[in-house]
Structure 1
Amino acid sequence: MRAEAVRAVRRLGGSLTQIVGMLADPAPVVVRAVNAALRTEPSAVPVAQLWELLAADSPAHVRLGAYERLRTSDTWTRVHVDLHLLAAHDVELGHRAHADLTAWLQGGAATTYRKPSPEAL
């Protein structure tokens, strides 16, 4: 029911800020629906909130949702979260982070011309 409500908000053009809190929902289907809705507005969720959701004590589906949001925010956040997961020896997300970092190095790294923002340092 909650997942359908999220889909309805997205289809009807409702405010996505109302569903941001559902990124920590106990149902994986709801978290996936929220992530799908937020694809059009990558800055709708504060980066600090996503890092909190990525914490080791969060459920696996919440961590995956936070990871997906973080890696789509900007280049340096993407690299930071991938390196963080690899350094933390996160088995669940470590494989995804490794694959993402490898893909970035093969395709996107050569076209990254901006240095990280002061907040990212």
Structure 2
Amino acid sequence: MVQYQARLDSTFAALSDVTRRGVLEQLGRADASVTDLAERFHMTLTGMKKHVSILEDAGLVKTEKVGRVRTCRLGVDRLEEEAAWIEQYRQLWSARFDALDELVAQMKHQENADAKRKRK
């Protein structure tokens, strides 16, 4: 459980930054070198390397170095557990909102019935 929580923490921490989410979006379209990403996001190479490192530590990005070029690609398998965790809570809240909708419908029905009785 603790290891699972640590993985969720690292994933969500990585996703908390707008630049890193942008990098993931970009890599969803095509693999890119760290240099290309740095240029695209108007950052220094050092700054982009830090972002890529955080994404890689979280398992969201895989890198491969060939010569002097480090190419990044999505690590898609990693988000399955996170998506399942989110889905669990989505189902919980969906059920709660469905119950609330039912309660509101019952209250409106009762309110309408009470109003009809008062008019008679």
TM-score, normalised on structure 2? 0.25
- Richer in helix (by share): 2
Larger Rg: 2
